[in-house]
Structure 1
Amino acid sequence: MTLKEVKELLEAEIITGTEYLEREVKTAFACDLMSDVLAFVDDKTLLLTGLVNSHTIRTAEMMDISAVVFVRGKKPDEDTIRLAEENEIAIMSTPHIMYVSSGILYSKGLKGAQIVHK
């Protein structure tokens, strides 16, 4: 699924990263605890979260996540946007809650990220 399809399905606003809309995502991971994000390893994963701060972008950077969708209509501050731009991470904001956002994407074939058990 491309980020453009994600945008359309979630009725999302692109905050930054319009130039990345043709990027493909193969899985999604939804959470507000960034420590949980560190528990999985998957290529081309989309992160859905309600945590709107630079820590989210730093975590996405560490895990090579190329796009973040903020749920519940949340929008990041300018510093967070700037950090995403520096790291070539697309940011979207959807009016849907996390559960609904996840369900929409799952129903259209986007699978959940795999947890790595150590």
Structure 2
Amino acid sequence: MTIERIKNLLDADVLFGEDHLDKEVNYAFSSDLMSDVLAYADDHPALITGLCNPQVVRTAEMLDIICIIFVRNKVPDQKILDLAADKNIVILRTAHGMFTSCGILYSNGLPGGI
């Protein structure tokens, strides 16, 4: 599924990466525990999280995650956005909660991770 389709399904704002919306993600992985992301995520997922700190971007970089979706209208600070820009990681923000975001994407054909 393209990041643009994810953006549209979640009625999300693009906070960084408007020019990368054509990239494909293979599945969605949701967690607020970056240790779980490190242990279980692979193969270019979109990361759905409510955790809003630079460690999320650093974790995404280590796993080649190309899109981070912040739920519950979380607003990452400029340091997080600058780090994402440096790593070319798309940042989306949605008003939906994590469970609803996962449900929307799953019901539209994006599989989930472990």
Structure 1 length as normaliser, TM-score?
A: 0.94
**Unaligned stretches of 5+ residues in structure 1:** none
Q: Which residue of 2 aligns with 1:81?
A: 81
Give distance in 1, aligned partners of 2:41 and 2:90. Answer: 19
Give distance in 1, aligned partners of 2:66 and 2:10. Answer: 17
Give distance in 2, aligned partners of 1:61 and 1:34. Answer: 12
Q: Secondary structure at the match of 1:11?
A: coil
Q: How many residues in Structure 1 have an aligned counterpart in Structure 2?
A: 114
Q: Do 1:13 and 1:94's aligned partners in 2 also have CA atoms closer than 8 Å?
A: yes
Cα offset, 1:42, TM superposition = 2.2
| 1:33-71, Cα deviation, whole Å (9 max, x unpaired) | 000001124212000000011000000001110000000
How well do the aligned residues superpose, as a CA RMSD in angstroms? 0.8
**Unaligned stretches of 5+ residues in structure 2:** none
Q: Secondary structure at the match of 2:99?
A: helix
| 1:8-33, Cα deviation, whole Å (9 max, x unpaired) | 00000000000110000111100100
The structure in which a higher percent of residues are helix is 2
Give me the identity figure in percent. Answer: 49
